[in-house]
């Protein structure tokens, strides 16, 4: 039980990686706010899953692009569970990873970038802004922002998505520099292509095979891989790690 | 802190969802049947249940009569080109990821069959591509020099004319081991212009139904000559009634199923059986160089993982030749690691007790041999039966308990060791597909040897489960097996001329 007594908020936790992170944090003792935006049914299933394994969780709907909704979600956590110790910013504007249907650089509109920046960076900003005062008061906290290994190795150039995630990595490092003095760590987690999620459904077999061929551990990530790394960064084991980007991609990107 | 659980009751109450009801049957219009729930299973969106019609001999006979009537009214008058167009049009719908029937199949089949969702999705679309128009034409052309023989009397090279007729009604007994395996049989029957009565297995009763619905979207009258009904195999009354109504019987399944149906088909009635088969892989040293090794192992492991080796085309074992960059023992360890990775990607289905027991039994046997210093080694998934690789240092052949159980045989030479080891399997009529990875100069020699002992398909590793349209399924023709031919003998047409009053 690495996270006994902690309260965690995971955004975008109804499905995929977010749901798995929520379940993993709960399995290590954290009580979890399952943040979601559109998929109430899936969020409820995540909550059910956590409760069925003896954990505590509640779902909370919020559009993290809205400062007030993000703040309300953080206050909900504090009101119900007394604190906010761990924040995992996983939500993003809807995105489908389809190598064949993606837009090329010359087809991208600035609005595409804006939408991804809104979801990834503005969303994380709003949640962190609301959580920071509580973490400062506690002199502790863990913020984990989900980015992508495409920042280092754009094996498929998803321009808008990856640019926004790069910005989120920059935000992460600056936040780490600023918040370290309060005992708050801020790190990024960079998954490789993760199978079994709705957004990776459109990544077809040939691209998967190419990635696997280049990956030392010879497979794609599964949500549990990302969740395990999130538990590590959320726990006291990682108390002296901040401002880092931990790649969870089977060794595809090294360094 | 507030009391634990406060406010948690408003959301996230235990989800009591009404099960999604899925019609696991397809009947011609006008046939009503009482419906019962035959099975319940889970889907990502909640529980689902299969609805099946209550059947008895009379009901089945009336279905068969209706099918024959509807066939006579419409299907029998379509041309080969018409039928091909319609089947291909239905398949094209399935090749659209947004097609509702495809999405339904992708949602329901994992829970129903236990196979991994991603594996099903991949295999289904690969399979559906074999129904494109070009493939159907290739398939028919492979079997009939002149496909128009299915439409009219056609001149023959040797003189005279011939026409091919399909059965009026085909009774299919489909197996449930591989989703969609029923579709080729249905398509073939439609090309033969036959009405189709398909008995599905409750293990996978859906694909035939969904494809029949797709055909109905394309051409409702064509689909009126199709009925798909599941019942529990071995029901003598129902099977006898179906056989009595049909003039051809096609059976897919294990030895027991095939024999039990064969026993009640009257002599003289067309009977086509696709019974139990075993497939193997053969890997030459040239496929085990450091640059080829990863790909070789990955392709073999994929052939094992898809449909958990339940297809007749799935490999039971692999013969690994000495002299590559890894020896066969290391190859076994590598294959085991790859199966471990695939367990995350395409998790294996849950097993019944007897299936799991069969795997434990094999493991125990070779663990014992390993402990006694024999030439075996066991690589097994920890804490379960997810995957098993057994290394043996002398080539042989045993039927695998399947469900991702692979035997790796070391051999000095594929030609001199592996082929003889397979001879008895071939003699028993079991040997089917051989996935091969060898140098081009060896390929035809290997094919000659394997063909001689009974193999009927050589293919690349990684595609063992994807037979091409027009393959000689189990070494035979397929469409021709269903047809009968009528000849106008050479000279008859000339002779007829003299009965034209205007003749000379």
pLDDT digits (tens, 9 = 90+) for B235-244: 899 999 999 9
Give me B458's structure tokens.
């050589």
**DSSP-derived secondary structure for B414-444:** IIIIIHHHHHHHHHTT-EEEEEEE--HHHHH
Rounded CA separation A51/A43 (Å): 12
Measured between CB atoms, which of A213, A217, A220 is closest to B294? Answer: A213
For B426, residues 6+ apart whose C-beta sits below 8 A from its C-beta are B453, B454, B455
Give the start-end residues of each E strand in chain A. Answer: 7-10, 31-36, 57-61, 86-89, 141-146, 184-191, 245-248
- Name the minimum distance, in Å, from the CA of B318 to any CA of chain A: 21
Residue A185 domain-assigned (yes or no): yes
CA distance B9 to chain A (A): 9
**Residue B10: pLDDT above 50?**
no
Backbone angles phi, psi at B207, to 5 degrees: -60, -40
A168 vs A160: CA distance, rounded Å: 12
CA distance B306 to chain A (A): 14
The chain B residue lying nearest A55, using CA atoms, is B5
- Which tens digits make up the pLDDT trace of B418-435? 999 999 999 999 999 999
Q: Chain B within 8 Å of A130 (Cβ-Cβ)?
A: no
Nearest-by-CA chain B residue for A223: B344
CB atoms within 10 A of CB B485: 11
| Separate counts of helices (H) and strands (E) for chain A | 8, 7
Q: How far apart are CA B108 and CA A64, in angstroms?
A: 33
Q: What is the ipTM of this complex?
A: 0.74
In a domain, A2, yes or no: no
State phi, psi for A100 to the nearest 5 degrees: -90, -30
By Cβ distance, the residue of A47, A56, A219 closest to B344 is A219
Give the pLDDT score at B292: 92
pLDDT at residue A203, rounded to an integer: 85
Q: Is residue A254 part of a domain?
A: no
CB within 8 Å of chain B, chain A residues 158-197? 195-196
- Chain A residues touching B344 at Cβ < 8 A: 195, 219, 222
> Distance, in angstroms, between B10 CA and closest chain A CA?
9
B-chain residue closest to A201, CA distance: B118
Establish if B7 touches chain A: CB-CB under 8 angstroms.
yes
Are A212 and B298 within 8 A, CB to CB? yes
Residue B4: exposure state from Cβ atoms within 10 A (0-12, 13-18, ≥19)? exposed
Domain for residue A28, yes or no?
yes
Report helix, strand or coil for B396. Answer: coil
Cα–Cα distance, B181 to B178 (Å, whole number) = 6
Residue B106 CA, chain-centre distance (Å), reads: 17
Interface test with A, best of B3, B12, B292, B337 (most A CBs within 10 A): B12
pLDDT (tens digit per residue) in B257-298 = 999 999 999 998 999 999 999 999 999 999 999 989 999 999
Do B2 and A79 make contact, defined as CB atoms within 8 angstroms?
yes
DSSP B54: -
Is residue B122 within 8 angstroms of chain A, CB to CB?
yes
pLDDT bracket for residue B9 (50, 70, 90): very low
Domains recognised in chain B with CATH numbers? 20-276 (3.40.605.10), 278-473 (3.40.309.10)
Q: Which of A41, A44, A219 lies nearest to residue B345, judging by beta carbons?
A: A219
- How far apart, in Å, do the first and last CA atoms of chain A sit? 30
Number of helices (H), then strands (E), belonging to chain B: the values are 17, 18
Establish if B98 touches chain A: CB-CB under 8 angstroms.
no
Cross-chain Cβ contact A218/B338 below 8 Å: yes
Domain range for residue A108? Answer: 7-248
Q: What is the CATH number of the domain that holds A17?
A: 3.40.50.720
Chain A residues inside the 8 Å CB shell of B342? 219
**pLDDT for residue B7:** 39
Within an 8 Å CB–CB cutoff, is residue B345 touching chain A? yes
- Please name the residues between 285 and 324 in chain B that touch chain A, using a CB distance below 8 Å: 294-295, 298
Determine contact: B9 vs chain A, CB below 8 A. Answer: no
- Cβ-nearest to A44 among B11, B122, B337: B11
Taking the Cβ of residue B16 and every Cβ of chain A, the question of whether any pair is shorter than 8 Å is answered with no
- For residue A167, the distance in angstroms to the closest alpha carbon of chain B comes to 31
Q: What are phi and psi of B161, to 5 degrees?
A: -135, 150
Chain A residues in contact with B97 by the CB 8 A cut-off are 202
Is the confidence at residue B404, as pLDDT, over 70? yes
Report pLDDT for A230: 98
Q: So what's the pLDDT on residue B16?
A: 60
Which portions of chain A are predicted below pLDDT 70? Answer: none
Tell me whether residue A1 is in a domain: no
Catalytic residues of A: 161
Provide DSSP, B290-322: HHHHHHHHHHHHHHHHGGGG-STTSEEEEEEET
What does the longest C-alpha to C-alpha distance in chain B come to?
113
Burial class (CB in 10 A: 0-12, 13-18, 19+), B154: middle
Higher pLDDT, A52 or B478: A52
- At residue B316, does pLDDT exceed 50? yes
User: What is the helix (H) or strand (E) element at residue B198, kind and residue range?
Assistant: strand B195-200
Nearest Cα to Cα of residue B391 among B414, B372, B367: B367
Residue B62: φ, ψ to 5°: -70, -35
Within 8 A of A13 by CB-CB distance, chain B residues are: none
Q: Which residues of A touch B125 (CB under 8 A)?
A: none
User: What pLDDT, in 10s, does the model give residues B112-130?
Assistant: 999 999 999 999 999 999 9
Q: Count of domains in chain A? A: 1
> Do β-strands B376-380 and B388-392 pair in parallel, antiparallel, or remain unpaired?
antiparallel
Question: How many Å lie between the alpha carbon of A28 and the closest alpha carbon of chain B?
Answer: 17
Residue A5: list chain B partners with CB under 8 A.
none
The answer, for A214 touching chain B at a CB cutoff of 8 Å, is no
Contact A81 B1 (CB under 8 A): yes
The predicted pLDDT at position B174 comes to: 95
Residues of chain A found within 8 Å of residue B5, distances taken between Cβ atoms: 56
Please, are residues A74 and A126 in contact by the beta-carbon 8 Å criterion?
no
| Among chain B residues, CA nearest to A33 | B8
Classify the phi-psi angles of B391: left when phi > 0, otherwise alpha if psi is within -120 to 50, otherwise beta: beta
Mutation test of the interface with chain B: which of A205, A208, A221, choosing the one with the most B Cβ atoms within 10 A?
A205
C-alpha distance from B331 to closest chain A C-alpha (Å): 15
Q: How far is B171 from chain A (nearest CA, A)?
A: 37
State whether A220 and B295 contact (CB < 8 Å).
no
Looking at residue B4, its pLDDT comes to 39
The string of pLDDT tens digits covering residues B168-217 is 999 999 999 999 989 999 999 999 999 999 999 999 999 999 999 999 99
User: Any CB–CB contact under 8 A between A107 and chain B?
Assistant: no
Does residue A25 lie in a domain region? Answer: yes
pLDDT at B255: 87
């Amino acid at each position: 039980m690495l996270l006994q007594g902690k309260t965690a908020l995971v955004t975008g936790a109804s499905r995929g990686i977010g749901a798995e992170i929520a379940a993993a944090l709960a399995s290590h003792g954290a009580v979890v706010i399952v943040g979601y935006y559109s998929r109430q049914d899936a969020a409820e299933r995540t909550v059910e899953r956590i409760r069925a394994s003896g954990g505590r969780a509640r779902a909370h709907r919020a559009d993290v692009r809205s400062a007030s909704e993000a703040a309300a979600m953080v206050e909900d956590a504090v009101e119900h569970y007394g604190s906010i110790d761990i924040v995992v910013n996983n939500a993003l504007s809807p995105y489908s990873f389809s190598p064949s249907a993606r837009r090329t650089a010359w087809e991208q509109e600035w609005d595409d970038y804006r939408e991804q920046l809104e979801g990834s960076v503005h969303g994380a900003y709003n949640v962190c802004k609301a959580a920071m005062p509580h973490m400062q008061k506690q002199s502790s906290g863990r913020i984990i922002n989900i980015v992508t290994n495409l920042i280092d190795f754009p094996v498929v150039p998803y321009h808008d998505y990856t640019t926004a995630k790069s910005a989120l990595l920059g935000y992460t490092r600056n936040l780490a520099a600023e918040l370290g003095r309060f005992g708050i760590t801020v790190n990024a987690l960079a998954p490789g292509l993760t199978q079994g999620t709705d957004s990776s459904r459109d990544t077809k077999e040939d691209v998967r095979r190419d990635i696997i061929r280049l990956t030392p551990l010879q497979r794609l990530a599964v949500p549990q891989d990302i969740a395990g790394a999130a538990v590590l960064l959320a726990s006291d084991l990682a108390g002296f790690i901040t401002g880092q980007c931990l790649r969870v991609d089977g060794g595809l990107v090294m360094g | 802190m507030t009391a634990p659980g406060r406010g948690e009751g408003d959301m996230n109450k235990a989800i009591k969802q009404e099960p999604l009801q899925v019609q696991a049957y397809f009947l011609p219009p006008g046939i009503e049947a009482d419906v019962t729930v035959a099975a319940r299973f889970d889907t990502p969106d909640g529980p689902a249940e299969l609805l099946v019609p209550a059947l008895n001999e009379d009901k089945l006979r009336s279905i068969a009569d209706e099918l024959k009537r509807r066939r006579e009214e419409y299907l029998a008058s379509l041309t080969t080109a018409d039928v091909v167009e319609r089947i291909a049009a239905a398949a094209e719908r399935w090749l659209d990821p947004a097609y509702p029937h495809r999405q339904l199949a992708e949602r329901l089949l994992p829970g129903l069959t236990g196979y991994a969702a991603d594996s099903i999705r991949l295999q289904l679309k690969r399979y559906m591509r074999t129904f494109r128009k070009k493939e159907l034409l290739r398939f028919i052309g492979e079997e009939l020099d002149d496909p128009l023989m299915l439409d009219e009397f056609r001149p023959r090279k040797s003189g005279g004319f011939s026409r091919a007729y399909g059965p009026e009604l085909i009774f299919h007994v489909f197996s449930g081991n591989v989703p969609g395996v029923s579709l080729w049989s249905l398509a073939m029957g439609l090309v033969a212009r036959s009405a189709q009565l398909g008995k599905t297995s409750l293990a996978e009763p859906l694909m035939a139904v969904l494809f029949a619905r797709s055909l109905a979207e394309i051409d409702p009258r064509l689909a009126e000559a199709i009925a798909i009904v599941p019942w529990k195999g071995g029901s003598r009354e129902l099977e006898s009634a179906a056989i009595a109504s049909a003039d051809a019987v096609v059976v897919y399944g294990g030895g027991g199923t095939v024999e039990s149906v064969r026993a009640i088909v009257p002599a003289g009635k067309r009977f086509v059986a696709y019974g139990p088969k075993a497939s193997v892989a053969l890997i030459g040293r040239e496929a085990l160089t450091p640059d080829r090794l990863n790909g070789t192992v990955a392709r073999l492991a994929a052939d094992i993982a898809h449909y958990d080796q339940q297809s007749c085309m799935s490999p039971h074992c692999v013969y690994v030749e000495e002299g590559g960059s890894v020896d066969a023992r290391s190859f076994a360890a590598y294959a085991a690691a790859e199966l471990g990775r695939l367990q995350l990607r395409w998790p294996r289905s849950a097993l019944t007790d007897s299936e799991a027991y069969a795997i434990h039994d094999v493991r125990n046997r070779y663990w014992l041999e390993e402990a006694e210093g024999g030439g075996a080694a066991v690589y097994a998934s920890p804490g379960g039966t997810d995957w098993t690789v057994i290394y043996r240092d002398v080539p042989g052949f045993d039927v695998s308990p399947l469900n991702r159980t692979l035997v790796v045989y070391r051999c000095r030479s594929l030609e001199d060791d592996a082929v003889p080891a397979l001879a008895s399997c071939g003699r028993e009529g079991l040997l089917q597909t051989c996935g091969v990875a060898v140098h081009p100069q060896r390929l035809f020699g290997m094919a000659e040897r394997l063909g001689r002992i009974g193999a009927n398909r050589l293919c690349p590793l990684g595609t063992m489960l994807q037979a091409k349209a027009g393959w000689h399924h189990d070494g035979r023709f397929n469409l021709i097996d269903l047809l009968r031919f009528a000849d106008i003998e050479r000279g008859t047409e000339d002779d007829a001329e003299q009965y034209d009053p205007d003749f000379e």
